[in-house]
Amino acid sequence: MTETFDGDWLDLREPFDARARNPALAFALAEALPARPRILDLGAGTGALLRWLGHFIGRAQAWTLVDADGALLARAFETIRERAEAVGWTVTAPDRRTLLVHAPGGAWRVEGLVADLRDAPDNLPLEKFDAVVNTALCDLVSEDWIADMANAIAEHGLPFYAALNVTGRERFSPPHRADALVARGFARDQARDKGFGGIALGAKAPGVIAENFAAHGYRIIRGASPWVVKRQEAAMAAALAEGHALAAAAWERRGETVIDGWLADRRRQAMEGRLTAHIGHTDILALPPTG
């Protein structure tokens, strides 16, 4: 079974994702796209990448949001409409499957596709698009999944943009005596099979992406994109601590009591405005050969 994600968690992380993603790669992708690009967003969730990357593209564009969870896609459409109308943009729905966001630089056409990414790329109409994008997906998948995706995308000559791949470098502050235990268990959890046909890549994802696309003559651009969670951002700091503790406890059974104590301390620090976190990520952009 593949990973599933709660919509409230996706909403909580959205501003941190937006702050972290590397704008240089977004501009590079926008420059490589045609006048009215068609974007395929894999594992789109509530549409956060569209709401961020659309501004860098800055012109008429068409998006297809792909997710296995139809409820998340429905939430994406609601959120896209709400955010657009909040800044004074008109949103229309020419049919039940499509939104048109009338942005200043040109309309953003948005459609949804319910599809299980375990079956990708075979279940994706890549021939209809000008780029394939995603956020926080590729560290979940297997090496074979990336190889198959790279082969299919290269066949169509499309750019591939993968934002917010974990680096394996997580740091909470202030230091805690159980940090090493939690980090070890969390790293073990990142490397388990997450439903994509093999062991999850975790921090190896950017390297595997680069290797597979470079084999097709693609140019590879990387950029750091860490989450930096400040003391006053208590809800996110506490959520990260809870996620790390839950993952670690599943692998460090003998240390469960210690991990529970670590989490209790981290929750208290977050409530007191003393907990910060730095979660390493890397963005990667693969551009097809020209000429």
β-pairing, 106-114 with 98-103?
Answer: antiparallel
- The pLDDT assigned to 4 comes to 57
Rounded-to-integer distance, Cα 145 and Cα 194, Å: 12
Total count of domains within the chain = 1
Which pLDDT band, with edges at 50, 70 and 90, does 94 fall under? Answer: confident
Which pLDDT band, with edges at 50, 70 and 90, does 3 fall under? Answer: low
Contact 285, 28 (CB under 8 A): yes
Which secondary-structure segment (H or E) carries 107? strand 106-114
For residues 81-101, give the mean pLDDT: 94
Q: Nearest Cα to 198, choosing from 144, 148, 154?
A: 144
Digit-coded pLDDT (tens) for 203-220? 999 999 999 999 999 999
For residues 112-118, give the mean pLDDT: 96
Kindly calculate the radius of gyration of the chain based on its CA atoms and give it in whole angstroms.
19
Domain region containing 54: 7-167+198-229+279-287
Answer yes or no: is 88 within a domain.
Answer: yes
For residues 263-273, give the mean pLDDT: 98
Answer yes or no: is 178 within a domain.
Answer: no
For residues 29-45, give the mean pLDDT: 97
Q: What is the CATH number of the domain that holds 122?
A: 3.40.50.150
For residues 227-234, give the mean pLDDT: 97
For residues 230-255, give the mean pLDDT: 95
- The pLDDT assigned to 1 comes to 40
Max CA-CA distance within the chain? 60
Q: Considering the chain, what percentage of its residues have pLDDT values greater than 70? A: 98
- The pLDDT assigned to 6 comes to 78
Rounded-to-integer distance, Cα 139 and Cα 114, Å: 21
Answer yes or no: is 190 within a domain.
Answer: no
Digit-coded pLDDT (tens) for 133-191? 999 999 999 999 999 999 999 999 999 999 999 999 999 999 999 999 999 999 999 88
Answer yes or no: is 260 within a domain.
Answer: no
Answer yes or no: is 68 within a domain.
Answer: yes
Considering Cα of 202, then 203, then 206, then 211, what sign does the dihedral take? negative
Contact 48, 41 (CB under 8 A): no
